């Protein structure tokens, strides 16, 4: 093999030098501009989707690393981080009540100038956190869902639907969800109260201004118990150990405990049992005994992004999450919806169009999930009371007395300003 000559070596050296300089330029051109930490409840497949549909685009546009932490116990993790002084830059939670507590403690940073709340339909727009603190925006919804829905097989006739709703064993019910078990029960009770008593009473209750022992609240508990068989060892025993995501397996052929109806938010329509069965939806108002005669109201929920550290990177991420195209991309991947008035629904079928219309219709009264809007201590006590009532409906008076004592304590804590327990001023609205 011949050895390279001096001219060849010189040319090679020159090429390497040019490549080295070019490489420095390239490296500098794509240099990362810091990082941002994010905490949310998406794990497994949902975390992979969030990285693909949201994080990847942000990192590509801004050259900012996103250090993501997913946890199914996001509230507990965030509370521990706050106690240790190691909160993430940005956190995503479903509860405005919990976030209001952090804002009350001065832990949240205002999103003024980053988010225009006029872009979002009520109740996801401008939020009133408490007396003297109504001028700032502290969170932005990045996905929304419609509740107040009863799902049933598309082949079911109206008369069959009404008859099934009166049968306790028709309901697909799962109460388990790890550290947050019980919330499917609170969803039931909230929605029943909304349909029976209307949004004015609902708002008084969800904002801490109506006693838990009030007749409307007691009636909502009892109606739920009568509908799903509270106290029935067979029905309740199954519901207590069934995860909310597995409740509809009773729809499948050969199920050990068949069921035909599910009271659940919009996300459930894409669960496998409903895909197999073919879903259709009815407003819960049409099936709840004793529902009011006025126009039916709707319960809604959402995933809310808030900023704990106002770093330049965190500000850029919040602004990115508020963009209509990002909202639409993420909500579609989750089979959810966006509260942004400019956003489109996740699909063109009739169900999706109906849901999107309700979520953004300026004349429709929408009320935020009451337990999510309550202070965390009240929310947790409510979830536990729902489980206890389902198992022992005879203990309802005792459970309501306990909830009323928690309400009084939260009011005292809120007045003292020493804790993060604070009530929202409103949870319902149109527009």
pLDDT averaged per 10 residues in sequence order, the chain, 431 residues = 43 44 46 96 94 97 98 94 96 93 91 87 64 72 94 96 97 94 97 97 97 98 98 94 95 95 94 95 97 88 96 98 92 85 66 90 94 95 98 98 96 75 91 83
Cα separation of 242 and 174, whole Å? 5
Peptide bond before residue 17 is cis, with ω within 30 degrees of 0: no
SS3 letters across 222-238? HHHHHHHCCCCHHHHHH
Q: Identify the structural domains of the chain with CATH numbers, from first to last.
A: 35-145+301-368 (3.40.190.10), 147-298+372-429 (3.40.190.10)
Residue 128: name the closest of 400, 307, 347, 373 by CA.
Answer: 373
User: What per-residue confidence (pLDDT) applies to 412?
Assistant: 87
What does each C-alpha distance from 41 to 46, 68, 180, 269 come to in angstroms?
A: 9, 10, 12, 20
How remote is the C-alpha of 135 from its chain's centroid? Answer: 24
Single out the residue of 332, 274, 329 nearest to residue 149, CA to CA: 274
pLDDT at 336: 83
pLDDT reported for residue 300: 96
This prediction has a pTM of 0.90
pLDDT computed for residue 347 by the predictor: 58
For 424, the token pair is: 């929202």
Q: Across-strand partners of 69?
A: 39
User: Cβ distance 370 to 216 under 8 Å?
Assistant: no
CA 29 to chain centre: 38
- Give pLDDT, residue 306: 96
pLDDT given for residue 176 in this prediction: 96
Instruction: Supply the pLDDT for residue 332.
Output: 83
Percent of the chain with pLDDT over 90: 73
What secondary structure, in 3-state letters, does the chain show? CCCCCHHHHHHHHHHHHHHHHHHHHHHHHCCCCCEEEEEECCCHHHHHHHHHHHHHHHHHHHCCEEEEEECCCHHHHHHHHHHHCCCCCEEEECCHHHHHHHHHCCCCCCCCCCCCHHHECCCCCCCCCCCCCCCCCCCEEEEEEECCEEEEECCCCHHHHHHHHCCHHHECCCCECHHHCCHHHHHHHHHHHHHHHCHHHHHHHHCCCCCCCCHHHHHHHHHHHHHHCCCCHHHHHHHHHCEHHHHHHHHCCCCCCCCCEEECCHHHHHCHHHHHHCEEEEEHHHCCCCCCCCCCCEEEEEEEEEECCCCHHHHHHHHHHCCHHHHHHHHHHCCCECCECCCCCCCCCHHHHHHHHHHHCCCCCEEECHHHHCCHHHHHHHHHHHHHHHHCHHHHHHHHHHHHHHHHHHHHHHHHCCCCCCCCCCCEECC
Nearest to 224 by CA among 343, 399, 57: 399
For the stretch 378-413, pLDDT in tens is: 999 999 999 999 999 999 999 999 999 999 999 988
Q: In this predicted structure, what is the pLDDT of residue 19? A: 40
- Distance of alpha carbon 60 from alpha carbon 263, whole angstroms: 40
Q: What does the pLDDT read at residue 203?
A: 96
Q: How many CA atoms lie within 13 A of 131 on its CB side?
A: 5
């Amino acid at each position: 093999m011949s050895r390279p000559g001096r001219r060849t070596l010189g040319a090679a050296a020159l090429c390497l030098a040019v490549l080295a300089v070019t490489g420095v330029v390239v490296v500098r051109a794509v240099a990362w501009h810091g990082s941002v930490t994010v905490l949310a409840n998406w794990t497994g497949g949902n975390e992979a989707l969030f990285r693909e549909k949201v994080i990847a685009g942000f990192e590509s546009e801004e050259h900012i690393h996103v250090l993501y932490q997913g946890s199914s116990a996001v509230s507990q993790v965030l509370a521990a981080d706050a106690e240790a002084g190691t909160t993430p830059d940005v956190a995503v939670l479903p509860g405005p009540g919990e976030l209001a507590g952090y804002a009350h403690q001065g832990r949240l940073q205002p999103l003024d100038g980053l988010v225009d709340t006029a872009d979002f339909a009520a109740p996801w727009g401008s939020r009133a956190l408490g007396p003297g603190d109504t001028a700032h925006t502290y969170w932005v919804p990045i996905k929304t869902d419609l509740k107040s829905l009863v799902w049933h097989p598309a082949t079911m006739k109206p008369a069959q639907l009404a008859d099934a709703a009166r049968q306790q064993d028709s309901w697909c019910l799962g109460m388990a969800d790890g550290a947050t078990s019980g919330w499917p029960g609170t969803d039931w009770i909230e929605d029943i109260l909304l349909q029976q008593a209307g949004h004015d009473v609902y708002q008084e209750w969800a904002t801490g201004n109506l006693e838990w022992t009030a007749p409307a609240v007691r009636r909502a508990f009892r109606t739920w118990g009568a509908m799903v068989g509270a106290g029935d060892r067979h029905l309740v025993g199954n519901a207590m150990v069934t995860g909310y995501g597995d409740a509809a397996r009773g729809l499948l052929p050969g199920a050990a405990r068949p069921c035909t109806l599910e009271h659940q938010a919009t996300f459930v329509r894409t669960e496998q049992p409903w895909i197999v069965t073919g879903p259709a939806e009815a407003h819960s108002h049409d099936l709840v005994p004793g529902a009011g005669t006025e126009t039916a109201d709707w319960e809604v929920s959402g995933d809310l992004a808030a900023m704990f550290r106002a770093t330049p990177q965190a500000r850029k991420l919040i602004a990115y999450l508020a963009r209509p195209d990002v909202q639409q991309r993420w909500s579609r991947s989750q089979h959810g919806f966006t509260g942004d008035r400019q956003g489109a629904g996740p699909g063109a079928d009739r169900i999706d169009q109906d849901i999107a219309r309700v979520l953004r219709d300026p004349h429709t009264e929408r009320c935020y999930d009451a337990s999510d809007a309550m202070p965390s201590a009240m929310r947790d006590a409510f979830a536990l009371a729902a489980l206890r009532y389902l198992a022992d409906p005879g203990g309802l008076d005792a459970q309501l007395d306990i909830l009323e004592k928690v309400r009084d304590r939260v009011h005292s804590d809120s007045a003292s300003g020493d804790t993060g327990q604070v009530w929202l001023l409103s949870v319902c609205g149109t527009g």
